[in-house]
Amino acid sequence: MTAFAICLFAGLSTALGGLLVALQRRPSERFLAASLGFSAGVMLYISFVELFPEGVDGLEEAGVASPNVWAPVAFFAGVLLIAVIDRFVPDEINPHEDPSPAAAGARMRKVGVMTALAIAVHNFPEGFATFFVALQDPVLAAPIAVAIAIHNIPEGVAVAVPLREATGKKWRAAGWAALSGLTEPLGAVIGYLFLRPFLGPAALGVTFAAIAGIMVFVSLDKLLPTAISTGRHHSAIYGVVAGMAVMAVSLVLLT
């Protein structure tokens, strides 16, 4: 129960990111551009600095030959998967170039859903790993959970911003941000009950690298173009840099 409580605390911190977005009353174009850029910065930094190297490390630990080859293969497989899904969903559901307000809202909604799914999948093995550390040594796991909680706050922002703009429902967007973090304790439970005998370093390595590819695609194809379309180009770029900086600090706390 102690190990599960530690994972639950870390996972629910995404709700704080969603709350920060919900409390912003009337977001200006500058705030929207900076927030979406921030979300892109978070996802790009996670992908290239955390997920992809962890994918390589997992493949190396498993003894896979040429991990520096197979990790990029998994990365681009993730890119290809999300690109194919993006292209073949009908335009009525997934508008690509239509500039109308309705299409813009649909695009924003899809950005939020894709971001939530990517972060949810990312948090699943993180919860699994944290739980097993806590089982062995709760004292060691507690500061790790605090660092992960800080690390998850901007992820909640990344989920909530596009969903709020798409639906106009700030508390529902905050709720989705909270739900994306619940996969962390869910990963702990499922990992403990079912996956421990099967989920080895090779499977985790491929998964991490593929998720990195998915998150990079979402950032470059959805978040950044939407941020720049507000007309606040510099605010979007400053947001990207700020998102990367926040994630850099949170990852330093994890080491």
Residue positions in the annotated binding site for Zn(2+)?
126, 151, 155
Annotated binding site for Fe(2+): 123, 126, 152, 155, 184
Residue 121 identity: V
Structure tokens that stand for 172 in this block:
């529902």
Binding residues: 123, 126, 151-152, 155, 184
